[in-house]
């Protein structure tokens, strides 16, 4: 087995975003393309003698990419690779394995919730030793390396059989192929009250049906191991649980639009607790019959009930949300007397706070929920957190307390933040830029605060403030500017506009609307359908931003 140096030339556009390099499979399949990027990682981070974790969501092109990483890692002096069987580890499972085995980092092969298959997306993401995504300093170095690369090193060796669990060698490299699910199940068993959940599910088997939808992504086997094998549910309570390289042709993103299989089945079969996770297992949706839990409410409710979860028995440190996420969790933090943070969109912003011991539970409106047990958001964790809460809530109750009752109780205690996000996908970039400029001019105008706008139904909203969201990280002092445009109103309502950082064609504009109703508004008002509760505010937001004209769109592509 010899090490060879292969001559190459830089490719344009190998700039990793916060979630790594994401491109069409066909782009990754070009000769030298994947090799260049992997070598750029090894040139950016000192990994001689290091242990790295390799895994991903099993999407199309993953096996090929793992073999490429093996060759390049061996030639670059890496000491050991821990690889999920068949190259599979969900994103949260990979974060756990990096931390548990004290690896120096990991390479995750995923494009998250983006569709997979030969004509869709593939991705490569580098995580650091805390188990979280690499910070910008590192991704920028990787990018710079891709612009000057002239050769990469490979070990000339036959392929490794990725299906065979156990230790082997690959030239100078130690390779350990591990069970993709086992460490993750052990971790969750150490966090949640499995005996309590098991006995709750058993005693309620007639009126508390469960359905978990893996969306043909990576979480099927995790869901099965936990819900069926550990918690004793019937095997039919898990669906779309075979991971497929193209996710069965679907869009593996758990929201009301793309997880329609789950929504339909829950409604049709009177399922009390439905849940889904995305392609790589870090997102989640909680949906019971007639009861959709917004991600903003979900994290607030989990935080409120934290003391029934053994992992949080010693108390919680702090709470946090991304800026556009509704302020529901802030109210929980105030009630519990713990500090809370508002960070820019992107899970990496939570990592520093967790490493500093100041953050326990956090979430984002984009269907991300998690805690400091790892450094990625965690879909299956959120599902089991909800089951733990429901089990605790039903402990001394004859009548079933379901998702809806938990929500209702939360609103009666804290009031309700009606929240919705409108996505305008793949709009012309010029129009989006013009809209941003228009809102900038409102932010700059000294007479904007105090102005009033009226909805079609005659409800008046008065501007309280308008600003760009800038963030200074309280731990390392780094500054992130212009992370969204915010307008607040005198009644406490808020609208945010942001350009997506994850779209791949044109621009995607997101508009987030939030209206807070106090607990004294009464049950009927607190229980109103979200769309109804927000209609007037949405009309006013569209008016202020002139969005329809700038984007040339009458309606959003997706409403969540
Ligand atoms: C990824 C990140 C999330 C973030 C989301 C924002 O999923 O992991 O932390 O919330 O992107 O996406 P957007 O398209 O709104 O920039
Ligand atoms: Zn994901």
CA of 435 to the centre of ligand 1 (A): 21
Number of domains in the chain: 3
Q: Is there a single domain that holds both residue 164 and residue 128?
A: yes
To the nearest whole percent, how much of the chain has pLDDT over 70? 99
Q: What is the pLDDT of residue 397?
A: 87
Residue 149 predicted with pLDDT over 80 = yes
Residue 220 predicted with pLDDT over 80 = yes
Which of 94, 112, 284, 364 gets mutated to test ligand 1 (max ligand atoms within 8 A of its CB)?
Answer: 364
Give the closest residue (by CA) to ligand 1 atom 5.
Answer: 346
**Per-residue b/e over 46-63, b at no fewer than 16 CB within 10 Å?**
ebeebbbbbbbbbbbbbb
> Is the CB of 325 inside a 6 Å radius of any atom of ligand 1?
no
Q: Is there a single domain that holds both residue 8 and residue 136?
A: yes
Q: Is there a single domain that holds both residue 163 and residue 17?
A: yes
Residue range 420-454, pLDDT digits in tens: 999 999 888 899 999 999 999 999 988 998 999 99
> Is the CB of 297 inside a 6 Å radius of any atom of ligand 1?
no
Which of the 8 DSSP states describes residue 114?
Answer: S
| Position in ligand 1 atom list of the atom nearest CA 508 | 14
| Position in ligand 1 atom list of the atom nearest CA 112 | 7
Q: Is there a single domain that holds both residue 77 and residue 216?
A: no
> Which regions of 265-359 does DSSP assign to beta strands (E)?
273-277, 284-288, 291-293, 318-322, 339-343
The ligand that comes nearest to the alpha carbon of residue 347 is 1
Give the closest residue (by CA) to ligand 1 atom 10.
Answer: 346
Q: Is there a single domain that holds both residue 400 and residue 425?
A: no
Q: What is the pLDDT of residue 1?
A: 74
Q: What is the pLDDT of residue 506?
A: 75
Provide the 3-class DSSP secondary structure of residue 144: helix
Report the candidate in 34, 92, 119, 21 with the shortest Cα–Cα distance to residue 68: 34
Give the closest residue (by CA) to ligand 1 atom 9.
Answer: 346
Q: Give the CA count within 13 Å in the CB-facing half-sphere of 203.
A: 16
The ligand that comes nearest to the alpha carbon of residue 324 is 1
CA of 325 to the centre of ligand 2 (A): 17
Q: Which of 392, 414, 436 is the last residue of a domain?
A: 414
Element (H, E) at 146: helix 136-148
Tokens of 440: 């900038």
Please state the rounded mean pLDDT for residues 198-207.
95
| Position in ligand 1 atom list of the atom nearest CA 322 | 10
Residue range 38-68, pLDDT digits in tens: 999 999 998 899 999 999 999 999 999 999 9
> Is the CB of 86 inside a 6 Å radius of any atom of ligand 1?
no
Please state the rounded mean pLDDT for residues 389-394.
97
Distance between CA 115 and CA 102 in Å, rounded?
32
Residues with Cβ within 8 Å of residue 144, at least 6 apart in sequence:
44
CA of 126 to the centre of ligand 2 (A): 14
Residue range 171-190, pLDDT digits in tens: 999 999 999 999 999 999 99
Which of 295, 322, 368, 511 gets mutated to test ligand 1 (max ligand atoms within 8 A of its CB)?
Answer: 368
Report the candidate in 53, 57, 529 with the shortest Cα–Cα distance to residue 277: 57
Distance between CA 85 and CA 164 in Å, rounded?
7
Which of the 8 DSSP states describes residue 160?
Answer: P
- Per DSSP, the chain holds a count of helices (H) and strands (E) of 18, 27
Residue 508: which domain range? 416-559
CATH of the domain at 158: 3.40.120.10
Q: Is there a single domain that holds both residue 389 and residue 437?
A: no
Q: Is there a single domain that holds both residue 529 and residue 544?
A: yes
Nearest-5° angle of CA 282, CA 28, CA 97?
35
Which of 18, 90, 296, 366 gets mutated to test ligand 1 (max ligand atoms within 8 A of its CB)?
Answer: 366
Tokens of 67: 């073999």
To the nearest whole percent, how much of the chain has pLDDT over 90? 87
CA of 501 to the centre of ligand 1 (A): 7
The ligand that comes nearest to the alpha carbon of residue 282 is 2
The ligand that comes nearest to the alpha carbon of residue 280 is 2
Q: Is there a single domain that holds both residue 331 and residue 219?
A: yes
Q: Is there a single domain that holds both residue 116 and residue 231?
A: no
Q: What is the pLDDT of residue 503?
A: 65
CA of 30 to the centre of ligand 2 (A): 25
Q: Give the CA count within 13 Å in the CB-facing half-sphere of 270.
A: 4
Distance between CA 90 and CA 219 in Å, rounded?
7
Element (H, E) at 304: helix 295-304
Nearest-5° angle of CA 490, CA 423, CA 330?
45
Distance between CA 139 and CA 382 in Å, rounded?
29
Q: What is the pLDDT of residue 387?
A: 98
Provide the 3-class DSSP secondary structure of residue 57: coil
> Is the CB of 364 inside a 6 Å radius of any atom of ligand 1?
yes
Residue 105 predicted with pLDDT over 90 = yes
Q: Is there a single domain that holds both residue 189 and residue 155?
A: no
Q: What is the pLDDT of residue 277?
A: 97
Which strands make up the sheet holding 210-213, listed edge to edge? 238-239, 210-213, 273-277, 284-288, 291-293
Q: Is there a single domain that holds both residue 171 and residue 194?
A: no
> Is the CB of 497 inside a 6 Å radius of any atom of ligand 1?
no
Q: Is 112 in the active site?
A: yes
Residue 8's pLDDT band (cuts 50, 70, 90): very high
> Is the CB of 254 inside a 6 Å radius of any atom of ligand 1?
no
Residue 504's pLDDT band (cuts 50, 70, 90): low
CATH of the domain at 439: 3.30.310.50
Q: Which of 356, 384, 414 is the last residue of a domain?
A: 414
Cβ atoms of 254 and 277 closer than 8 Å: yes
**Mean pLDDT over all residues of the chain?**
95
> Is the CB of 371 inside a 6 Å radius of any atom of ligand 1?
no
> Is the CB of 500 inside a 6 Å radius of any atom of ligand 1?
yes
Q: Which of 180, 195, 224 is the last residue of a domain?
A: 180
Residue range 311-357, pLDDT digits in tens: 999 999 999 999 999 999 999 999 999 999 999 998 989 999 999 99
| Position in ligand 1 atom list of the atom nearest CA 498 | 15
> Is the CB of 321 inside a 6 Å radius of any atom of ligand 1?
no
CA of 508 to the centre of ligand 1 (A): 12
Residue range 449-486, pLDDT digits in tens: 899 999 998 989 999 999 999 999 999 998 989 999 99
CA of 14 to the centre of ligand 1 (A): 19
Residue range 538-557, pLDDT digits in tens: 999 999 999 999 999 889 99
Q: Is there a single domain that holds both residue 448 and residue 538?
A: yes
Provide the 3-class DSSP secondary structure of residue 16: coil
Q: What is the pLDDT of residue 505?
A: 67
Give the closest residue (by CA) to ligand 1 atom 13.
Answer: 500
CA of 73 to the centre of ligand 1 (A): 29
Which entry of 112, 298, 371, 417 is annotated as an active-site residue? 112
Task: Write the ipTM.
Answer: 0.95
Supply φ then ψ for residue 253, to 5 degrees. -125, 120
**Per-residue b/e over 488-518, b at no fewer than 16 CB within 10 Å?**
bbeeebbbbbbbbebeeeebbbbbbbbbbbe
């Amino acid at each position: 087995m010899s090490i060879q140096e292969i001559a190459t030339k830089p490719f344009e556009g190998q700039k990793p975003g916060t979630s790594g390099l994401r491109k069409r499979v066909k782009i990754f399949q070009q000769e030298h393309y994947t090799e260049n990027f992997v070598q750029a990682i090894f040139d950016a981070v000192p990994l001689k003698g290091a242990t790295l974790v390799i895994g991903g969501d099993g999407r199309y092109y993953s096996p090929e990419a793992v073999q490429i990483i093996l060759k390049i890692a061996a030639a670059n002096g890496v000491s050991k690779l821990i690889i999920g069987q068949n190259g599979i580890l969900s994103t949260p499972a990979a974060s756990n394995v990096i931390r548990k085995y004290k690896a120096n980092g990991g390479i995750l092969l995923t494009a998250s919730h983006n569709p997979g298959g030969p004509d869709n997306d593939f991705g490569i993401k580098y995580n650091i030793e805390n188990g979280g995504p690499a910070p910008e300093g590192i991704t920028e170095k990787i990018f710079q390396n891709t612009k000057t690369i002239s050769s990469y090193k490979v070990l000339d060796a036959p392929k490794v059989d990725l299906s065979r669990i156990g230790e082997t060698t690959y030239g100078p490299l130690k390779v350990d192929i591990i069970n993709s699910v086992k460490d993750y199940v052990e971790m969750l068993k150490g966090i949640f009250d499995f005996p309590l959940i098991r006995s709750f599910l058993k005693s309620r088997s007639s009126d508390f049906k469960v359905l978990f939808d893996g969306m043909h992504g990576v979480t099927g086997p995790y869901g099965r191991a936990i819900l069926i094998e550990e918690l004793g549910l019937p095997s039919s309570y898990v669906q779309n649980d075979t991971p497929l390289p193209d996710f069965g042709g679907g869009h593996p993103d758990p929201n009301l639009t793309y997880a329609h299989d789950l929504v339909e089945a829950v409604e049709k079969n009177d399922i009390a607790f439905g849940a889904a996770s995305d392609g790589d297992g870090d997102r989640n949706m909680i949906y019971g019959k007639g009861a959709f839990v917004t991600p903003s409410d979900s994290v607030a409710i989990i935080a409120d009930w934290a003391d029934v979860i053994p992992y949080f028995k010693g108390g919680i440190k702090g709470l946090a949300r991304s800026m556009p996420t509704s302020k529901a969790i802030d109210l929980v933090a105030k009630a519990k007397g713990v500090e809370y943070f508002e960070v820019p969109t992107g899970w990496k912003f939570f990592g520093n706070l967790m490493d500093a011991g100041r953050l326990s539970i956090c979430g984002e409106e984009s269907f991300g929920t998690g805690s400091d047990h790892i450094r990625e958001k965690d879909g299956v964790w959120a599902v089991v957190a909800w089951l733990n809460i429901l089990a605790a809530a039903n402990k001394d109750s004859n009548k079933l307390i379901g998702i809806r009752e938990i929500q209702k109780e939360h609103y009666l205690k804290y009031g309700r933040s009606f929240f919705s996000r409108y996505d305008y996908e793949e709009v012309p970039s010029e129009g989006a830029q013009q809209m941003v400029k228009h809102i900038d001019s409102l932010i700059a105008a000294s007479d904007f605060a105090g102005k009033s706008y009226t909805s079609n139904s005659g409800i008046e909203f008065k501007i309280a403030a308008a600003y760009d969201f800038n963030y200074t990280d309280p731990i390392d002092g780094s500054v992130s500017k212009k992370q969204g445009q915010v307008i607040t109103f005198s009644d406490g309502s808020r609208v945010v506009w942001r350009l997506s950082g994850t779209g791949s064609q044109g621009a995607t504009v997101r508009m987030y609307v939030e209206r807070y109703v106090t607990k004294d508004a009464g049950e009927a008002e607190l229980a109103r359908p979200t769309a109804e509760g927000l209609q007037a505010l949405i009309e006013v937001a569209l008016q202020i931003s002139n969005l329809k004209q700038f984007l040339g769109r009458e309606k959003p592509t997706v409403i969540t």
